[in-house]
Amino acid sequence: MIKHHPNFEEIDVQNYTRMILKGLQCIHAKGYVHCDLKPSNVLVFPSKDGCPCRLKITDFGLSKEPGETVGEQYKFHATPRYMSPESLVIGQIGVALDIWSLGCIVVEMVTKKTMWGDHKDDYLGELMCQLVAGNDDVLLPESLSEEGKDFLNKCFEIDPRKRWTASMLLNHPFIAS
């Protein structure tokens, strides 16, 4: 849908993000982390209630329980351009990983580009290390409202312990309005 939709209005981004957040809230409440949230793992279904479509999170093949110990090889099994710094750099699994990925999806809905642009996946580790070290900031889409930018700042908080949860984000003014 992102590739084929000419441009999303901000209200569409808000509605679609809300649907994904509700799915994440449910997944996290059941004690799981999706670990590979990206546009191709979100299916679009026609709706009968006036909304143009409904979104559903799919492909739980890499899902884990928060804090689950994973082998060294896990760090690069998911899609690097949607992974959080703590998961890509040190392999840390937690619900904050999915929130970072959601932020990446929102950026892609707004800009039609992945958050890291045309960088190759093998270069993303270097970018993430810079983020973790505090040497770089996530670039937010200029066209997004201030509420939208604040929402993304909550998704892209470098410290995963401070990153907002799905439940918290559902009450953020960008989504709740």
Q: Kindly list the catalytic residues.
A: 36
Contact 61, 36 (CB under 8 A): yes
What is the C-alpha to C-alpha distance for residues 43 and 112, in angstroms, rounded to an integer? Answer: 17
Contacts of 90 (CB under 8 A, 6+ apart): 75
Contact 106, 13 (CB under 8 A): yes
Contact 41, 79 (CB under 8 A): no
With residues binned 3-state (H G I as helix, E B as strand, rest as coil), the percentages for the chain, rounded to 5, are 50, 5, 45
What is the C-alpha to C-alpha distance for residues 45 and 47, in angstroms, rounded to an integer? Answer: 6
Please report how the helices 10-29 and 146-155 are oriented relative to each other, as an axis angle in degrees rounded to 10. 30
Phi–psi pair at 67, nearest 5 degrees: 80, 0
Cβ neighbours, 10 Å, residue 18: 16
